[in-house]
Structure 1
Amino acid sequence: MLSVVSSISSLLLGAALLLVGNGLIGTLLALRATAEGFSDGVIGLIMSAYFVGFLTGTWVAPRAVMRVGHIRAFAMFAAVASAAAILHALIVNPIAWGALRVLVGSCLVGLYMVIESWLNVLAPGERRGKVFATYMAVNFIALAIGQNLIRLYPPTGFELFGIVAMLLALSLVPIAATRIHQPAPVRQPRVSLRRLYAASPSGIIGAFGSGLAMSAFWGLGPVMAQRLDFDAAGIAAFMTATILGGAVIQWPVGAFSDRHDRRLVLAVVMAAACGFAALAFVLSAIGPWPLMIAMFVFGGLAFTVYPVSIALANDFLKPEETLQGASSMLLVHGIGAAIGPTLAGLLMDVAGPRGLLLHFATIHAALAGLVWWRFWRSGTVNVPHAHFEPMIRTTPAALELIAPEPQADEGAEAPRN
């Protein structure tokens, strides 16, 4: 495994720098917007713009990569994203920030696609799952580190925006210096939502609801913590606790889902996430540490909803359909993510900063009810289980790492992966 990681170390380093910068700018903008007096509803709209850009870039970025090649496209996306980071500090205006967030989201999805398509080329067939797991671990760790950089300088200054720009620019260095041959052009996702819904309605429900909830966490979690009078260290700890919970608790829940009906597991996880969001609402009135403990568990459960939904859909898809299905699930998740911060921001305008926790609880309660209703109507269904892979939202290129290898036709139907 060490030899495999060593062979992709330049890609992982570039991804880590990119993710640290992205983790920092999301929290930084939320805090700066609060300091500038933006309402929670306006902040929610700004944060939704990033996910609109991410969704749009899923189709736009592959064309740019095919036109100029992977390294040139990466350089172009990194340069634009770095400039946009600086522009946030120069033009403090909600409309301008919304436009810049769309631009940054489109660029970042292109950067992720280039790195992930390279990982597909370099990952040995028998170790693709381990490469994917390593890449996901880098995602969680880098995003957690990015949260803690807000401790260095006040968000009202220029320094943190400069650090974001440097990190995005420096991510180009290990990529440009690599001697790895360029992979095949990135493919645009082809969506077949009708087939996916026919195979797994509960999977689609989970992916959409996860987008609604987790995008609100990324965009408005720092706002809630700041309005609850957390200092910079407290805000970083709040975000880090939730992210690390998502990294740690996914493994046991995923392993459990591999052995039981995933619809029932998904309903239970959603219901438990609702319960811990409600508990966090209560504990937020007591103090920061009880709130962080509740958010650690909530994060572990809430971050698990999306990968369990992916695995659930794969249970009912043919092996050759899993990559297409995962790409479609990513689209559904992205639509939810583009809506989530706006809904949560409007709720926070009415209910105060703890309205974000009410958003989490309401979304997961509704999801649990819908999935449980689907399970109750159809009963237990015995199907071969696909293997659960812990993950955070990524691009279709990374999903190829966990797609089953095509099997030779020997006159019989191939078993499901």
Structure 2
Amino acid sequence: MVVPGGPHQSREAGRGGAGSIYNAPPCGKRVLPVISRLFTISALLSGIALLLLGNGLLTTLIALRGSAEGLGDGTLGLISSSYFAGFLIGIYLAPRLVRRIGHIRAFAFCAALLAACGLSYGLWVQPAAWLGLRVLTGVGLATLYAVVESWLNYQAPERERGRIFSVYMVINLGALAAAQQLLRLASPLDYTLFAVAAIFVSLALMPVTWTRLPQPQISTTELMEFRVAWRAAPLAVAGILAAGLVMGAFWGLAPLYARKLGFERDAIAAYMSFSILGGALLQWPLGYLSDRSDRRWMLTAAAACAACGAALLALMPQLLPGSRVALYASAAFYAGFSFSLYSIAITHLIDRITHEQMMAGTSTLLLVYGVGATLGPALAGGAMAVAGNWALPAFYLLVTVALAIFCLGQLRRRPEQPVIEDPGHFVPMVRTGTAVLELHPDTAESTAATAP
């Protein structure tokens, strides 16, 4: 499998040359302060923020509009799954497209594709049409992530990559949370919100096509064999699969769940925003504990707490009917622990492999996540169609309980599991593209350590 991302040698060789904006000093000395560096890459960061405002709105809007049009829960689950299937396809296609036409043209091509898809959803409200459009949306977004993230890899000096990575993840989560508030602008039954989503995606073109930053090369990274990853850290593989199952179902079906609870448009926006913010904020204390304890126990505890949050989501409408604050709090609690499964699993694998294996190993986990995210909405949507609205938190509960039980079984079989080389560092993450893994502080260190 080909994974986008600028290699260490080409990234450094591209600086300081004729016409370059960098004059890189020897020994990796810092060229610009971090703030100046962020200003330099602000075009890329603002482009991804605008893109996620549009796509974040569109993801929630599709569930709400489809439900209002009478599409069944199972159908909406399949439509959501088709997006993640398209994203997996895009991971394979993105490097080829970027090599063929370059970063800026590839970004413009796929942003135009996403904008056209966004406008088309409101024109053809048909399940078959939406399935195809979601596949195209997934392919386009995977390519856009590849372009922006490989560019960020190229521009980030080794000593500043961790901070730039953190800023990038904050922008991701902040834009997704803010996108939910755009639902307040109009009814999902109107064409307005589809147009707003397309406008934001189109605006993302402006800063990226305006930039004069040098474009990186696209390298190739082989995937680690699945059996090697499983042998090294079975809990990491199981944790990332569970994260894909529950998070795919969350992004695709949580708006539908809130709507069936009787929430109006503004309340659905608040429900989604609280969930995303809870998922972002709770990762920091969990990460602090994860770096100071056995990460396998932290994964077990996070899965168990996510299961408790899922149980609260299922029971709260009966325990406190009409209390939206209680539902918002339950959603934030659940999301805080379920979002962290991805980050803990990635870091646990890093603990268990060598520096040379980090990019291949983490890329394999991202592929496993994508498989889970593709299956999750289809399975949860089918369960909702059969059993009703409560089946979504029940699906969360089933997956997280199964993960917690599996973790406990592994802990009993292997009570001690030493770190192979240097311990990894927990970094709050959301699933974006494969190229961003090179910005992770641990994989950045491995690149520096193994570069000739």
TM-score, normalised to structure 1, is 0.96
Partner residue in 1 for 2:208: 175
1:34 and 2:34 correspond = no
Letter in 1 for 2:282: I
1:308 and 2:344 correspond = yes
Shift of 1:382: 2.9
1:84-134 CA-partner distances (Å, limit 9, x unpaired):
111111111001101100000000010011000110011121010100000
Partner residue in 1 for 2:137: 104
Shift of 1:136: 0.1
Partner residue in 1 for 2:404: 368
User: 1:32 and 1:183, CA in 2 relative to 1: closer, same or farther beyond 3 A?
Assistant: same
SS at match of 2:245: helix
Matched-pair contact (CA < 8 Å) for 1:65–1:186: no
1:396 and 2:447 correspond = no
Partner residue in 1 for 2:93: 60
Matched-pair contact (CA < 8 Å) for 2:158–2:448: no
Partner residue in 1 for 2:297: 264
Partner residue in 1 for 2:230: 197
Using the alignment, how far apart are the partners of 2:219 and 2:151 within structure 1?
10
Shift of 1:2: 1.6
Partner residue in 2 for 1:324: 360
User: 1:189 and 1:20, CA in 2 relative to 1: closer, same or farther beyond 3 A?
Assistant: farther
Partner residue in 2 for 1:10: 43
Using the alignment, how far apart are the partners of 2:244 and 2:403 within structure 1?
12
Using the alignment, how far apart are the partners of 2:309 and 2:162 within structure 1?
31
Partner residue in 1 for 2:184: 151
1:349-370 CA-partner distances (Å, limit 9, x unpaired):
1221121111111110001111
Unaligned runs of 5+ in 2: 1-33
Letter in 1 for 2:415: G
Letter in 2 for 1:312: H
1:187 and 2:217 correspond = no
SS at match of 1:395: coil
Using the alignment, how far apart are the partners of 2:294 and 2:221 within structure 1?
32
Partner residue in 1 for 2:380: 344
Using the alignment, how far apart are the partners of 1:131 and 1:259 within structure 2?
23
User: Could you tell me which of 263, 283, 295 is aligned with 2:331?
Assistant: 295
User: 1:408 and 1:314, CA in 2 relative to 1: closer, same or farther beyond 3 A?
Assistant: closer
Partner residue in 1 for 2:194: 161
1:48-67 CA-partner distances (Å, limit 9, x unpaired):
00000001100011110011
Shift of 1:408: 5.7
User: 1:225 and 1:186, CA in 2 relative to 1: closer, same or farther beyond 3 A?
Assistant: farther
Matched-pair contact (CA < 8 Å) for 1:66–1:186: no
Matched-pair contact (CA < 8 Å) for 1:59–1:188: no
Shift of 1:320: 1.3
Matched-pair contact (CA < 8 Å) for 1:77–1:110: yes
Matched-pair contact (CA < 8 Å) for 2:221–2:359: no
Matched-pair contact (CA < 8 Å) for 1:52–1:338: yes
SS at match of 2:282: helix
Matched-pair contact (CA < 8 Å) for 2:223–2:361: no
User: Could you tell me which of 419, 425, 428 is aligned with 1:387?
Assistant: 425
Letter in 1 for 2:429: M
User: Could you tell me which of 223, 247, 250 is aligned with 1:217?
Assistant: 250
Partner residue in 1 for 2:279: 246
1:29-53 CA-partner distances (Å, limit 9, x unpaired):
0000000001101100000000000
1:359 and 2:392 correspond = no
Matched-pair contact (CA < 8 Å) for 1:200–1:316: yes
How many pairs does the alignment contain?
Answer: 409
Letter in 2 for 1:147: Q
Unaligned runs of 5+ in 1: 410-417
Using the alignment, how far apart are the partners of 1:188 and 1:102 within structure 2?
24
TM-score, normalised to structure 2, is 0.89
Shift of 1:385: 2.0
SS at match of 2:439: coil
User: 1:331 and 1:393, CA in 2 relative to 1: closer, same or farther beyond 3 A?
Assistant: same
Matches within 5 A, 1:54-93: 54-93=87-126
User: 1:113 and 1:8, CA in 2 relative to 1: closer, same or farther beyond 3 A?
Assistant: same
Partner residue in 2 for 1:412: none
Matched-pair contact (CA < 8 Å) for 1:267–1:368: yes
Letter in 2 for 1:16: A
SS at match of 1:400: helix
User: 1:189 and 1:63, CA in 2 relative to 1: closer, same or farther beyond 3 A?
Assistant: farther
Using the alignment, how far apart are the partners of 2:191 and 2:358 within structure 1?
45
Using the alignment, how far apart are the partners of 1:67 and 1:282 within structure 2?
53
Using the alignment, how far apart are the partners of 1:115 and 1:265 within structure 2?
32
| Identical counterparts, % of pairs | 43
Matched-pair contact (CA < 8 Å) for 2:84–2:370: yes
Shift of 1:268: 0.9
Matched-pair contact (CA < 8 Å) for 1:71–1:175: yes
1:134 and 2:172 correspond = no
